[in-house]
A and B are shown apart, each in its own frame.
Chain A
């Protein structure tokens, strides 16, 4: 019994220790912002059965980042238009013609990653960077990334009035269109927001793992939500808390940050699943 307060104090000290490192402060700000943003958009991704879109966009982001590294430009500025372009191409192919979106994604994400690998083969010295972008690193987060994430949070908050329209089209596109909602334009807006969030996530989480940020918190919230509103808010709650827990695990256990956060998400998802089947 007498050990408990001592243990708590020790844990608190450890947390304060971690917070003294500027890289950890940056990682926490980025992690919390990403947890909230990706989960917010993740509610739409999960409910629209677009999980594979996250895979497609994150791999496209990798291709764009490789291009940025090769050109010597900040990868973010190359990856954003590249990833948004791939997202729009996926939407266009699935809207016009006989191919479904999963086929369009299957084609474009493989092409993007192949392009990234070919581009990186020209500049051997960047392979270490490429590894960071594939699996994510807590140390890679810079002040620039913090700025990007904070700007994205402000942008998403400004676009909050789109939630009711996106949610309506998620429920039933035909009904939303019949009610005058510009569904196709809104879809492009949503894909753009998701694409930018994915690019912003790649440094911390890694291109391979970023899909989990879009899918796992929203899937966890879906298990117990009675409304799309509670699913969205629940996903954001799960996304932010698992980001914080995962980053501390990453700091103390020396795990890769993206993997640590995703294992936390998986733990919460498993608990939610166990409770829902009880």
Chain B
């Protein structure tokens, strides 16, 4: 019997006040897929991610994540929020934040095993030396890596990432996508990543969801990021599309 899709979204609509942010979007994400969600500002990408997490109630349609309504399987999901929302005045060392991914609460005391797991996760993302640094002292790129360590520390089977490469330099971003590819291969994990980086979507994702309130296209990168859908979503395609054609898509 074929495995059920990890995410099933059927005619999902979400309203924010009087504005319809997501309009009748339907798609399935199969196990071990790497889906990139792209689209212009205000396209509903983050709202879609929040709906999958159970943070936003659908106005219409149905959503199932890991076989259940959203919000039921937090321990099986790893989430990387947009780092720009971080409260930098909160007094905390990096290791505390990573441990919160294990305990699903803020640790008052850290157990020895939690500390070791957190250090291992930081090592994985190349941030072992940041363990005792204060959150307030980190650069945007360092913070992204710490959030990724926090997301991976409990070895989730589904990763929901909201612009995980924001503020990361080109080399750092390449490392990050390579890391995600490796994690996915090692754990058979499913990844849904909101990104503005068309190149990353084109070269790392197995499927791309092009969103502009409604679903413009969904499928393999070459098809979903074709000139016509991009023009429909962004109004024009410009130089970006030529850049996309510079290399092969996900292999």
Contacts and interface: CB of A to CB of B under 8 A. Distances in A.
Interface in A203-237: 222, 225-231
Contacts of A226: 91-93, 134
A138 B54 CA distance: 51
Contacts of B85: 172, 174
Interface in A29-45: none
Interface in B78-99: 79, 81, 85-87, 89-93, 96-97
Contact of B89 (A47, A172, A178, A179): A47
Interface in A148-185: 163-165, 167-168, 170-172, 174-181
B239 interface: no
Interface string B41-53: 0000000001001
Contacts of B81: 172, 174-175, 178
B106 interface: yes
A228 B248 CA distance: 47
Contacts of A163: 106, 108
Contact of A178 (B79, B106, B107): B79
A167 B85 CA distance: 16
Given A172-B86, A175-B81, A225 B91 contact: yes
Nearest to B109: A229
> What bracket does the count of chain A residues touching chain B fall in?
20 to 34
B4 interface: no
Given A164-B107, A171-B87, A178-B74, A228 B55 contact: no
Q: Label chain B's interface by main secondary structure.
A: loop
Contact of A177 (B55, B92, B103, B108): B55
A164 B108 contact: yes
Given A174-B81, A178-B74, A178-B79, A229 B108 contact: yes
A172 B83 CA distance: 11
Nearest to A221: B91
Interface residues of B, number: 29
A12 to B, nearest CB: 37
A160 B86 CA distance: 25
Interface string B40-70: 0000000000100111000000000000000
Contacts of A164: 103, 105-108
A168 B91 contact: no
Contact of A168 (B54, B86, B93, B100): B100
B218 to A, nearest CB: 24
Contacts of B103: 164
A164 B103 CA distance: 9
Most buried by B among A165, A175, A181, A228: A175
B71 interface: yes
B226 to A, nearest CB: 33
A234 B157 CA distance: 39
Contacts of A172: 81, 85-87
B104 interface: yes
Contact of B106 (A168, A174, A230): A168
Given A164-B105, A164-B107, A171-B87, A227 B92 contact: yes
Most buried by A among B79, B86, B106, B134: B106
Given A222-B91, A226-B134, A227-B93, A181 B86 contact: no
Contacts of A165: 105-106
Interface string A73-111: 000000000000000000000000000000000000000
Contacts of B87: 47, 171-172
Contacts of A227: 91-93, 96
Contact of A170 (B90, B96, B104): B90
A177 B106 CA distance: 13
A170 B54 CA distance: 19
Given A172-B85, A226-B134, A167 B91 contact: no
B90 A168 contact: no
Contacts of B100: 168, 171, 175, 179
B108 A181 contact: no
Given A47-B89, A47-B90, A225-B91, A175 B107 contact: no
Interface of A: 47, 163-165, 167-168, 170-172, 174-181, 222, 225-231
Given A167-B105, A168-B104, A226-B91, 19 more contacts: A163-B106, A164-B108, A165-B105, A165-B106, A171-B97, A171-B100, A174-B50, A174-B55, A175-B79, A175-B81, A175-B100, A176-B105, A180-B74, A181-B105, A222-B91, A225-B91, A228-B90, A229-B109, A230-B91
21 contacts: A47-B90, A163-B106, A163-B108, A164-B106, A164-B107, A164-B108, A168-B104, A168-B105, A168-B106, A171-B90, A171-B92, A171-B100, A178-B77, A178-B81, A180-B74, A181-B104, A226-B93, A226-B134, A227-B91, A228-B91, A230-B91
